[in-house]
Structure 1
Amino acid sequence: MNNILKHIEENPKETQRLIGLEYEQLQQLIQNAERLHYEKQALLESQKVRIIAGGGGRKQKLSLREQIILTLVYLRHLTTFQLLGIQFGVSESTANDTFNYWLPYLRELMPSSLIEQVKKNASDYEVVKEILTDYELIIDSYEQVRERPGDNNEQKKYFSGKKSNHTFKSQMIILPDGSDIVDVVAGEPGPKSDITLFREYRSEFDTKQRFKGDKAYIGEDLITTPIKKPRNRELTTEQKEQNKMFSSKRIFIEHRIRSVKIFRVVQERFRLNPHKYEQVILTICGLVRLRIRALILPLEISAISSG
């Protein structure tokens, strides 16, 4: 048994520090990921034309549970695949392959937002959009440094003067109390303005939907923003108090973005293939929704160490 898995089983209260989820949430995720794995494998097996019986080949060094935890450890701590392989007793390439195998499974299991969760059912989607109009949703975006693109046109497209680096931009919309992520857009070019990004994806919501944003969204009628300081003048005491009150209501979006950045793959320079960026960020958002209990996965009565 891998030392990390053994440590989690012996010290379940430390699971959140190691993985980013509580022990029970990790248990839910492992059970659902294993079930999805077996379903996919059964489907592939049914489509094969076999000459010899199945069940042969080299046995995997890691159990399914260890493979899933390896993937979560990478997302949480952003270690190198070489070091990850040493930690789990496998080669660097096996650690890399394991991560790339399980990432899309985790992405499939955990919708990144409320909108994504209900969008598969058109009637549910319309109902949720209508319900959301009762709230003034909070919106913000953030940039993350990426590797410099090799193509000259691409590097110009992603170079952000604000960060003096090449960046991706992601947009997040949450409920007023931060209790759920309503919508996520990930992997846009960093230089794209916040208001332009919002307008490009505005159609996801009802035309009556209202939002609350920072000064980057001034000029958008649908978004309430702080009072801007007039040129060569100061804000009045009353206006400053209004802005302070506004910030206290908007702080929940900062907390939610911070909870996403607990996973260091979102916090530091993105080193993976840039085409995987959206998949990784949306997977992290799904993990955060599971962490804050906005997303509940089916749970069977069993322990991580069973089976």
Structure 2
Amino acid sequence: MTSRHELTLQEKIQLTFDNKDGNGLSQRKLAVEYNISLDSVSNILNLVTLWYLKHYHSERYIASELNLNRSTVNYFLSEVVNILHACVYPELISIPADIGNRRTPHEPQQHHKLIVDSTCIAIPEPHEAEQRRAYYHGKSPTNYAFKVQVACDFHHQIVHVSDCYHGSVHDITILRESGLLEHVNDSVQIIGDKGYIGEEYVVTPRKKPHGRELTNEDKEFNYQINSARAAIENINQRLKTYGILGGVYRGDIDDFHKMTRITKVVSALCNMNLNKHPVRK
């Protein structure tokens, strides 16, 4: 039997380019040519991209470490993200078909099935005043950001991720344009914060009446809602452990399609981690 051997760094990089766009060698031919297993081929094609998403080293740094030019690094990172978005995201993130029939622990409101919240992805301060107004987000460490909406179920798995928006766009606008409301009805309702007030099937904390205090019943209701919302807040914090979302994004801030693909890929990877390390026992 022919023994397998460890690839050098340059062999790994060459392997990546041999298979770029799916127009290069087949994985089986690559395995034969490089004398490695088929599993190793897939692992190598994703390795550098996953490292990039997690630690968000600059493309210049990666190019230097791999002895490649920056445009080449940009190319293969973008291509692998596109592949992961097309193949991995749909498999790992979707609203369960039986969501309306699922029992939830949120007694007595058994119709509460989803929890939603937005999170921001910081960007540097834009140069133009119009862009500064569009991207302004007071909770961003730079005051400017993309905004994305994430929804989870009561198993605390991400089930829906919106496209990315300017940081100044209101949460309720993103919800209405995200397609998530197509899945709600009397038996499937969404829990959100006060930024989502205004939709029939979105349950938000009760506001304090003018000149009066909340009743004990209202306080208990708000406690239950806020307790449930803690799950999506924790999930959004998990997303920020990936450097590309948790740091300051250095890419083209006008390329919303790319940022959306990156966010959805990271969300899918986060879901895999949530299976092993749930936010709540």
Q: Distance in 2 between matches of 1:244 and 1:40?
A: 51
**What secondary structure does 2:169 align onto?**
coil
> Which one of 93, 96, 109 corresponds to residue 74 of structure 2?
96
Aligned residues between the structures: 237
Closer, same or farther: CA 136–101 of 1 in aligned 2, 3 Å? closer
2:263 pairs with 1:285: no
Q: Distance in 1 between matches of 2:51 and 2:163?
A: 22
State the one-letter code of the partner of 2:183: F
**What secondary structure does 1:211 align onto?**
strand
**What secondary structure does 2:162 align onto?**
strand
Closer, same or farther: CA 64–83 of 1 in aligned 2, 3 Å? farther
Q: Which residue is 1:249 aligned to?
A: 228
Q: Distance in 2 between matches of 1:186 and 1:226?
A: 26
- Cα RMSD (Å) of the superposition? 3.6
Residues 15-54 of structure 1 show CA distances to partners (whole Å, capped at 9, x for unaligned) of xxxxxxxxxxxxxxxxxxx9xx58922699xxxxxxxxxx
Q: Which residue is 2:3 aligned to?
A: none
> Which one of 78, 82, 86 corresponds to residue 60 of structure 2?
82
Aligned-pair CA distance for 1:99: 1.4
State the one-letter code of the partner of 1:291: N
State the one-letter code of the partner of 1:288: C
Closer, same or farther: CA 262–162 of 1 in aligned 2, 3 Å? closer
Q: Which residue is 2:207 aligned to?
A: 228
Aligned-pair CA distance for 1:236: 4.5
Q: Distance in 2 between matches of 1:128 and 1:38?
A: 38
Q: Distance in 1 between matches of 2:70 and 2:20?
A: 25
Gaps of 5+ in 1: 5-33, 45-54, 56-62, 119-124, 295-307
> Which one of 138, 152, 156 corresponds to residue 174 of structure 1?
152
> Which one of 195, 215, 218 corresponds to residue 194 of structure 2?
215
> Which one of 23, 29, 47 corresponds to residue 41 of structure 1?
23
Aligned-pair CA distance for 1:231: 4.0
In the TM superposition, 1:55-134 aligns within 5 A as 65-111=43-89, 117=94, 127-128=97-98, 131=101
CA contact (8 A) 1:138 1:173 kept: yes
Aligned-pair CA distance for 1:3: 9.4
Q: Which residue is 1:189 aligned to?
A: 166
Q: Which residue is 2:105 aligned to?
A: none
**What secondary structure does 2:264 align onto?**
helix
Q: Distance in 2 between matches of 1:2 and 1:89?
A: 16
Q: Distance in 2 between matches of 1:3 and 1:237?
A: 66
Q: Which residue is 2:38 aligned to?
A: none
> Which one of 233, 238, 252 corresponds to residue 273 of structure 1?
252
Closer, same or farther: CA 3–270 of 1 in aligned 2, 3 Å? farther
CA contact (8 A) 1:140 1:171 kept: yes
Q: Distance in 2 between matches of 1:195 and 1:172?
A: 13
CA contact (8 A) 2:124 2:249 kept: yes
Closer, same or farther: CA 219–93 of 1 in aligned 2, 3 Å? closer
**What secondary structure does 1:269 align onto?**
coil
CA contact (8 A) 2:121 2:249 kept: yes
State the one-letter code of the partner of 1:160: H
Gaps of 5+ in 2: 1-5, 10-15, 27-32, 34-40, 103-109, 277-281
CA contact (8 A) 1:145 1:166 kept: yes
State the one-letter code of the partner of 2:270: V
Q: Which residue is 1:258 aligned to?
A: 237
Closer, same or farther: CA 148–112 of 1 in aligned 2, 3 Å? farther
**What secondary structure does 1:186 align onto?**
coil
Q: Distance in 2 between matches of 1:242 and 1:135?
A: 13
Aligned-pair CA distance for 1:73: 1.0
Q: Distance in 1 between matches of 2:174 and 2:82?
A: 26
**What secondary structure does 1:229 align onto?**
coil
CA contact (8 A) 2:20 2:79 kept: no
Q: Distance in 1 between matches of 2:7 and 2:129?
A: 44
Aligned-pair CA distance for 1:240: 3.2
CA contact (8 A) 1:168 1:188 kept: yes
Identity %: 26
Aligned-pair CA distance for 1:223: 1.3
Q: Distance in 1 between matches of 2:189 and 2:99?
A: 12
